[in-house]
Amino acid sequence: MPEPSVIHSTFAIERRYPHEPERVFAAFADPELKRRWFSPGADQETEPFSLDFRVGGTERVAYRLAPGLPVSGVIANEGVIQDIVPNRRVVTASTMALNGRRFSSSLVTIEILPAEGGTELICTHQGAFFEGADGPQIRETGWRHLLDQLGKELDRAAQD
């Protein structure tokens, strides 16, 4: 039997941040704040980043991978915001491509819940990974890293 051409996956990541839900929500809504924590690591450089934060608005980011990595070129993520409930929820549908070849589609739901001493964030990722995709485990690792970066940005912004 041939291997499936699409792998489906769902995972959820929970984080607690010692910041009010409004501050956490702002890190998703404000383009400059989001760029700071959603930017790549040392192995990549950000190409154009844009965020039109409204239902039906788009989010675009591209990363040029550093030489010497297992893959090379540009990874692009393009999304459309499906739902916004201020200070509570953001839902985005997106596709990722490597050098123009799409390799996954995702629905990401960010829930922002008031919690004692701050906010509980739940990130639910539902993905379809096409042939040659990064796969669910790598994507989950990536989201864990992004949410760690979000926490650092929230802490940094609170000190300013």
Q: What is the CATH number of the domain that holds 11?
A: 3.30.530.20
**What is the average pLDDT value for the chain, to the nearest integer?**
91
Cβ distance 99 to 74 under 8 Å?
yes
**E strand segments, the chain:** 6-17, 44-51, 58-65, 74-85, 89-98, 101-115, 118-130
Model confidence at 151, in pLDDT bands (50, 70, 90)? very high
| Separation of alpha carbons 152 and 142, rounded Å | 15
**pLDDT tens figures, 51-90:** 999 999 999 999 888 777 777 889 899 999 999 999 999 9
Phi and psi, residue 151, nearest 5°:
-60, -45
The encoded tokens of residue 69 equal 């990595």
Number of domains in the chain: 1
Half-sphere exposure of 100 (CA within 13 A, CB side): 0
Residue ranges making up the domain that contains 134: 6-159
96 within a domain of the structure (yes/no): yes
1 within a domain of the structure (yes/no): no
85 within a domain of the structure (yes/no): yes
83 within a domain of the structure (yes/no): yes
